Structure 1
Amino acid sequence: MKEEKRPEHPAHTHILPDGTVVTHTHHHSHTQTRAVLNRMSRLIGHLESIKRMVEDGRDCSEVLVQLSAVRSAINGVSKIILKDHLEHCVVDAVRDEDKEALDRLNRAIDQFIK
């Protein structure tokens, strides 16, 4: 059986308002990982199907309807990831006074909502 190699989780350091230095790694273990992966697999299959539609010269209206369905599915999986992130990472960041993690979330939200 092939062993799955997981990426290293880089350590980062925070200096708390009282001057305490905290170094830790951030491991993403979420309750919705399997659901997200399943949805992503379905999305990839759906996109492959749309690609075949274009290759086969299917009607543009049909392609657009399918692309709209994919966009809706992407929004759905994004919502799951955001909620899971808030429930786990952001809760940890607030507890650890990790302003950097909260800044990253703000930048990600800005990019996502563009």
Structure 2
Amino acid sequence: MDDETGTPPGYLTRKGDYLKRMRRIEGQVKGIERMIGEEKYCIDILTQVSAVTKALQAVALGLVDEHMSHCVLDAARAGSPEAEVKLKEASDAIARLVRS
């Protein structure tokens, strides 16, 4: 469930896509681990770290978009005071992403 309200998360329609992306990212991370174990060239490892970082950012941005278009929008349409809470959650999440 999305939160204490018991509503399903907005990303459910794309859950399979997110899981597929995360499995791909997991494979990339294991590849980096293998590269380090095999003492590969630093720049090659850094290139892979950059690719994983971009992949995780893409997942994060997709989830933020889903949160805005589902959770925040639904709360705002309902005229719920929860809309401000949902918007603040999104704003805080975006701030964390920007800092990372």
So what's the TM-score if we normalise by structure 2?
0.82
CA RMSD of aligned residues (A): 1.9
The structure carrying a bigger helix percent of its residues is: 2
Asked if the contact 1:93/1:102 (under 8 Å) is kept, the reply is: no
- How far 1:8 sits from its partner (Å)? 8.9
Structure 1: which 5+ runs fail to align?
1-6, 12-24
Aligned partner of 1:66 among 25, 28, 48:
48
Q: Which has the higher contact order (CA 8 A, sep 6+)?
A: 2
User: What is the identity percentage for the equivalent residue pairs of Structure 1 and Structure 2?
Assistant: 28
Kindly report structure 1 stretches of 4+ aligned residues shifted beyond 2 Å.
Answer: 7-11
Aligned pair count reads: 95
Structure 2: which 5+ runs fail to align?
none
Asked if the contact 1:32/1:80 (under 8 Å) is kept, the reply is: no
- Which is further off, 94-103 or 37-46? 94-103
The structure carrying a bigger strand percent of its residues is: 1
Structure with the greater alpha carbon radius of gyration: 1
